[in-house]
Amino acid sequence: MSDSAIGIFDSGLGGLTAVKELVKVLPNENIVYFGDTARVPYGNRSKKTIVKYAEQDASFLLSKGVKMIIAACGTVSSVATGLCDTLPVPFTGVVAPTANAAVRATKNGKIGVIGTSATVNSQSYKKAILSANKNIKVYQQDCPLFVSLVENSFISEEDPIVQLVVERYLEKLKSQNIDTLILGCTHFPIIAGAIHNYLGDNVTLIDSGKETALYAAEILRQKNLLNNDKAPGDCIYYVSDTVDDFKRTAQIFLGKNDIEDVYHITL
């Protein structure tokens, strides 16, 4: 299975930040991405609905013969925690790799977590952090408008709308003197510049997409599933809504304009 693709899914486009990081870490791996753009967002759904959607997303990727599945979605990783027990291939979400990276990064033992409402309400990051170090103080804030900003191309750190929303959401976290902040939704790295500007140089931002990509690469190495082909890997994208809208917005996440292999599917 070493030449099979890595499967990545998300409720929409945020998981593309994980794709971008995975291509950097493992440039010769093939990737199949599914964005459930017809049912985005997952963050305000019930647990039952999120679990059902996650199972359907994973099932689609399995139909493509993938060798590993990554839930590049903070909401799924936080709520559909039993998914890994049902899959015949290695699986990871974003919570554990990101929480562990934050624990390693903090100097003063104060970590902030931002994500969707479902992610924050699940307490998943807090539980993972305290499991690694019970003495760390964890401060959380849901930031649902961040997703809307990114998907509507409000991403410039100079944009006063972006600045206002960042300040409104992060004011309390800043007052807690955190030195590490988990970007607990894969949309959030797109506006990391504005977040950094507001919080300052003394706060380390932990990118869930990047940490998950590094963790996935290590799992593949351990299981001897790395692709030995030296040629650059291919990325194929599937979406459950319009292809054109995905291509347009995906350029922001991937940082490139030549996104070709995008196909519409119905679950």
Q: Would 1 be classed as within a structural domain?
A: no
Within 10 Å of residue 134's Cβ, how many Cβ atoms? 7
Q: Mean pLDDT throughout 233-257?
A: 88
Same domain as 225, residue 133: no
Give per-residue pLDDT as tens, 28-48: 999 999 999 999 888 889 999
pLDDT of residue 221: 95
C-alpha 11/C-alpha 223 separation (Å) is 28
Domain contains 50: yes
Q: List, by residue number, the catalytic residues.
A: 73, 185
Say if residue 155 is in the same domain as residue 74.
no
User: 186 and 106 in one domain?
Assistant: yes
DSSP three-state, residue 152: coil
In the predicted structure, residue 258 carries a pLDDT above the cut 80? no
Co-location of 87 and 214 in the same domain:
yes
Expressed as residue numbers, the domain containing 256 is: 6-93+210-264
| Same domain (yes/no): 116, 187 | yes
Total structural domains in the chain?
A: 2
Residue 177 and residue 111 share a domain = yes
- Domain-ending residue, one of 189, 208, 227: 208
* Mean pLDDT (whole number) for 204-220: 94
Asked whether residue 231 is assigned to any structural domain, the reply reads yes
> Is 84 inside a domain boundary?
yes
Cα-Cα-Cα-Cα dihedral sign, residues 90, 30, 20, 247: negative
- Between CA 192 and CA 106, with CA 124 as vertex, the angle to 5 degrees is 55
Which tens digits make up the pLDDT trace of 138-186?
999 999 999 889 888 899 999 999 999 999 999 999 999 999 999 998 8
* Average pLDDT of the residues of the chain: 93
Q: Among the three residues 208, 227, 244, which one is the final residue of a domain in this structure?
A: 208
Written as one string, the DSSP assignment of 9-69 is: EESSSTTHHHHHHHHHH-TT--EEEEE-TTS---TTS-HHHHHHHHHHHHHHHHTTT-SEE
Burial class (CB in 10 A: 0-12, 13-18, 19+), 107: exposed
Residue 38 included in any domain: yes
pLDDT tens-digit profile of 189-198? 999 999 999 9
Give the pLDDT of residue 7: 98
20 and 108 belong to one structural domain: no
Q: Residues 51, 73: one domain?
A: yes
Check residue 3 and report its DSSP letter.
Answer: T
**Can you read off the two tokens belonging to residue 142?**
């849901």
Residues 187 and 233 in one domain: no
The answer as to whether 129 is a domain residue is yes
> Do residues 155 and 254 share a domain?
no
Q: What is the pLDDT of residues 46-72, one digit of tens each?
A: 999 999 999 999 999 999 999 999 999
Claim to verify: residue 223 and residue 151 sit in the same structural domain:
no
- Give yes or no: residues 45 and 88 share one domain: yes
| pTM of the full structure | 0.90
Residue 147, helix vs strand vs coil: helix
Mean pLDDT over 77-95 rounds to 93
Find the CATH number of the domain harbouring 108.
3.40.50.1860
